């Protein structure tokens, strides 16, 4: 499908304090505890970005807990 004809809703890539990523429709207030990382676009584009940056899927609290072990 071509970029020019798409009217699909745009998304923001968002991340929480556990450094878990998700996507959130542009225009809706981002829920508390989440913030946009500054990447937006089609769902596919956003998910591609997530695929690149979310390399360690463990929640941050778990990584910290394991680091203490």
Partner 1 sequence: MTERPDGLREAVAGIWCAMLGVDHVSPEDDFFEAGGDSGLAVETAISLRALTGTDLDLDLVYQHPEFGGLLSFLTDPRPAGEERPLTPAEERLWFAERLHPGSPTYHIAALYRVPGRVDVPRLRTALDALVARHDALRRGFEAPGRAVTSAAATVECRWLDAFGLPETTVRELIDEHARRPFDLANPPLLRALAVDRGDEDDLLLLTVHHLVCDGASLAVLEDDLGRLYSGAEVGPRADAVAGTSSRLFDQDESRAYWRRTLAGAPRGIALPHDLPRTASPGSAGAVHALACPEDLLAGMADLAAGERLSPFMTWIVAYVAGLVSLTGERDVVIGIAASSRTPEQRGEIGMFVDPVPLRLLLPDGTTTRDLARQVRRATAEALAHRGVPFQTVVEDLGPGGDPARAPLVQAGLTYLDAAGTALRLDGLVAHRELLPTGTAKYELLWSVTRGPDGTTTEFEYLTGLFSAEKAVDVHTGLVDAARAAFARPDAPLSLPGRPPTAATSHTDPDRAATGGLRPIPELVRLRAAQRPDAPAVRHRGVELTYRQLDERAVAIATGLRAAGLRRGGVVAVPLPRGIDSVCAYLGIFYAGCAYLPLDPDQPPDRVRTALLGVADAVLVTGSHPSLPPELRVLDLEDLLRARRADPAVPVRVVGEDPAYLISTSGSTGRPKTVVVPHRGISRLVPDAEGIVYHSDDRVAHLCNPAFDASILELWGALGSGAVLVVGDKEDALSPARLRAFLDEERVTVLGLPTALLHTVIDFAPDAMSGVRLLIFGGEKADEQRLTRLMAHQPPARVVNVYGPTENTTVSTLQRVTPADLDPGPLSIGRAVSGSTAYALGLHGEPVAAGVEGELYVGGEGLALGYHGNPALTAASFVPDPFGPAGGRLYRTGDRVRPTADGTFHFVGRTDDQVKVRGFRVELGEIELALRSLPGVTDAVVFARATADSTELLACVTGGADLADAAGIGEALRTRLPGYMVPAVVVTDRLPLNANGKVDRAALLASLPEDLPSPHGETGPPPEDDPLAEAVTALWCESLGTADARPDDSFVALGGHSIKALKLLARVDESFGVEVDLADFLAEPTLRALVTAVARDTENAPTG
Site residues (vs partner 1, CB under 8 A) = 13-14, 16-18, 20-25, 28-34, 43, 46-48, 50-51, 54-55, 57-59, 61-62, 65-66, 69
Of 10, 11, 33, nearest in space to 20 by CA: 33
DSSP-derived secondary structure letter, 10: P
Minimum CB distance to partner 1 smaller for 6 or for 61: 61
Give min distance, CB of 1 to partner 1, in A.
Answer: 13
Distance CA 13, CA 36 (A): 6
Residue 20 structure tokens: 């878990």
Q: Give the shortest CB-42-to-partner 1 separation in angstroms.
A: 12
């Amino acid at each position: 499908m071509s970029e020019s004809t798409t009217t699909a809703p745009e998304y923001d890539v968002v991340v929480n304090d556990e450094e878990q990523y998700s996507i959130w429709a542009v225009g809706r207030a981002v829920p508390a505890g989440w913030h946009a990382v500054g990447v937006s676009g089609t769902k596919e584009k956003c998910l591609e970005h997530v695929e690149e940056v979310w390399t360690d899927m463990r929640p941050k609290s778990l990584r910290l807990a394991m680091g203490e072990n």
